[in-house]
Amino acid sequence: MNAASLEFIPVQGMPEFLAGDDLVEHLINGLCANTTTLSNGDVLVIAQKIVSKIEGRFINLNAVNISTKALELAAQCQKDPRLVELILQESTDVVRCVPGVLIVRHKLGLVMANAGIDQSNVPGDDIALLLPQNPDASAQHLAEAMQQRLGVSVAVLISDSFGRPFRNGVCGTCIGCFGLSSLYDLRGHVDREERPLAVTQLAIGDQLCATANLVCGESNAGIPAVVVRGLADDYLKQSLPASHLVRPVQEDLFQ
């Protein structure tokens, strides 16, 4: 099952993305400029930010109507009330609100700071960028478009940088997936001692996004896409969306 090696190839020199841009065209041009040719079985890891930009997920904070609840939470977490209102609109639950930190459960089920709303590398002081409405659907659309335009079957992951419970630092995390098993189930397989595995499931989507994030970088690196080559075929046999990586609320032991 294990691949002998994995290669992570950055797609460098891509432009600033705007709402309505043709992501496939930009990717094809970027791949050509980097003399990289996609092959069947490759995986494209795409930064969430460019997907959100192309899908027009920009919000002008000055146009946000602030609720009483947002004002109350903004006072507690010491954040811009306009931003807090947006966070509430994108969330189903407030998990924790303390000075400097607002952790929520996003509509997608993701538990994260600020509902994933970002202002870094977004033009304009009062412009915020939301997560894609349906990252799994975005990944599927991109994979199918690449198949149509290039004639190759590739998997697509959409990656965002998350903080993690009880761990310092951020890590690339899979929020959208098409064309591979985001969660690979090893239950029922046996270990080297012939003991059956009872609970092991591999977060393949997260592992690939975390490694690709080392290639993309943060801050001003400006590398929004990475080609992963050499992934074992077993992981590509079934397409399992990133939503399967989200633990159901009823299994939350820390509520």
CA angle 243, 255, 187 (to 5 degrees): 45
Tell me the pLDDT band of 153, cut-offs 50, 70 and 90.
very high
Q: In whole numbers, what is the pLDDT of the chain averaged over residues?
A: 93
Domains of the chain: 7-57+132-247 (3.30.1330.100), 59-128 (3.90.1660.10)
Give yes or no for residue 44 having a pLDDT over 70: yes
Q: How far apart are CA 30 and CA 28, in angstroms?
A: 5
Pairing of strands 127-129, 155-164: unpaired
Q: How far apart are CA 117 and CA 102, in angstroms?
A: 11
C-alpha closest to that of 135 among 209, 234, 196, 215:
209
Instruction: Choose between 252 and 92: higher pLDDT.
Output: 92
Instruction: Choose between 252 and 17: higher pLDDT.
Output: 17
Nearest 10 degrees: CA dihedral of 108, 111, 117, 120?
-130
pLDDT tens, position by position, 99-125: 999 999 999 999 999 999 998 888 888
User: What pLDDT, on the 0 to 100 scale, is given for residue 173?
Assistant: 96
pLDDT tens, position by position, 219-246: 566 789 999 999 999 999 999 999 999 9
Stated pTM of the model:
0.93
